[in-house]
Amino acid sequence: MIRAVSDSDHAAIWAILEPVIRAGETLAVPRDLNRDDALALWLSPERTVRVLEEDGAVLGIFYIRANQSGGGRHVANAGYVTAQHATGRGVARRMCAASLDLARELSFSAMQYNLVISTNSRAVRLWQTMGFAIVGTLPKAFVHPEAGPVDAFVMHRLL
């Protein structure tokens, strides 16, 4: 089930975000970001946020928002985080599909990911199967804690 966030989800959301933020391998946020700042970022007013719940447990969170304003406001941006204990179960795929539906509902006509880390090959492949194309390669745009500076991709699809 994909649903909106309520205040009672904050602990579950932080439990999902914290290990991914601390790992620093996929999200471009400070690895030492604290709970309040992380929740403020993820639940900021310009984002429309949903969680994926299964058997009463929150297994993932995603947002969509306008990637630009003015003449660029028809393109959505989105981000997804799956609970580490729930990877490999199609959570990200279901969230991506839901985000595409939500973006259409909100009258966006395209979706763009600004910084897909090239070492995150599982995500790159998944977004490709969901209809996204790599439309740009940003040289050494991300400093991976293990691999060092690695490329990142801009990925895009029409809705």
Among 110, 124, 130, 159, binds its own copies (CB under 8 A): 110
Q: Which stretch binds its own copies (CB under 8 A): 24-32, 48-56, 99-107, 124-132?
A: 24-32
Strand partners, 75: 110
Among 44, 68, 87, 128, binds its own copies (CB under 8 A): 68
Is residue 29 a contact residue for its own copies (CB under 8 A)? yes
CA distances from 78 to 95, 97, 148 (A): 10, 11, 25
Is residue 115 a contact residue for its own copies (CB under 8 A)? yes
Q: Which amino acid makes up residue 155?
A: M
| Smallest separation, CB 124 to its own copies (Å) | 15
- The tokens for 51 are 């969680």
**105 three-state secondary structure:** helix
Q: Is there a contact between 113 and 132 (Cβ–Cβ < 8 Å)? A: yes
Q: Which stretch binds its own copies (CB under 8 A): 5-13, 85-93, 96-104, 143-151?
A: 143-151
Q: Which residue in 53, 131, 122, 134 sits closest to 88, CA to CA?
A: 122
- The tokens for 125 are 């492949």
Is residue 45 a contact residue for its own copies (CB under 8 A)? no
DSSP category for residue 147: T
Is residue 158 a contact residue for its own copies (CB under 8 A)? yes
Burial class (CB in 10 A: 0-12, 13-18, 19+), 138: middle
Q: Which stretch binds its own copies (CB under 8 A): 55-63, 91-99, 100-108, 148-156?
A: 148-156
* Residue number with CB closer to its own copies (3 or 140): 140
Positions that interact with its own copies (CB under 8 A): 24, 27-31, 33, 68-75, 110, 112, 114-115, 117, 135-145, 152, 154, 156, 158
